[in-house]
Amino acid sequence: MSAILFYEKPGCRTNARQRRALEAAGHTVLVRNLLAEPWTAERLRGFFGHAPVATWFNPAAPAVKAGTVDPSALDAATALSLMLADPLLIRRPLAEVDGQRHAGFESLRDRLGLTVDLEAVATGCSHPHHPCPTPKSTGTP
């Protein structure tokens, strides 16, 4: 089984379920705080591969849901700049496994050949009726 560097948002129930699914499949999961990681544009860009810029974003991020940020209207440089300023915008989880980087659980799941019940391990926001808590409310610096 693989060792997976797993960048999550602390307190995110969906990320917790995803992490548990990976562990249940026998993988070693090394958890990192996505919000506190010292990202650079170059390093962050490596997780998105050839995916369209709009898919780099967390659709449940408060700024996206409010319409303040329109991912479909952004180029790569602007998108990365916004994400560095507000990590809640980053699609999660981000993961590194066997030298490959992934954004979103679907990409990681497919890479590992993991078969999971998507209802049991949701890939969207666990709280669709209200925004995710801010980093301050989760105790993250």
Residues noted as catalytic = 12
- Residue 92: inside a domain: yes
CATH number at residue 75: 3.40.30.10
Residue 137 in domain: no
Nearest to 46, CA basis, from 3, 17, 5: 5
90-136 pLDDT tens trace:
999 999 999 999 999 988 888 888 876 645 544 445 554 455 555 55
Q: Can the peptide bond before residue 93 be classed as cis, meaning omega within 30 degrees of 0?
A: yes
CA distance 67 to 95: 27
Per-residue confidence (pLDDT) for residue 109, from 0 to 100: 84
Instruction: Name the residue range of residue 64's domain.
Output: 3-132
What is the pTM for the complete model shown? 0.81
Does residue 138 sit within a domain?
A: no
Taking the CB of residue 72, how many other CB atoms lie within 10 A of it? Answer: 9
Q: Please report whether residue 141 resides in a domain.
A: no
Number of domains observed in the structure of the chain: 1
Amino acid at 25: A
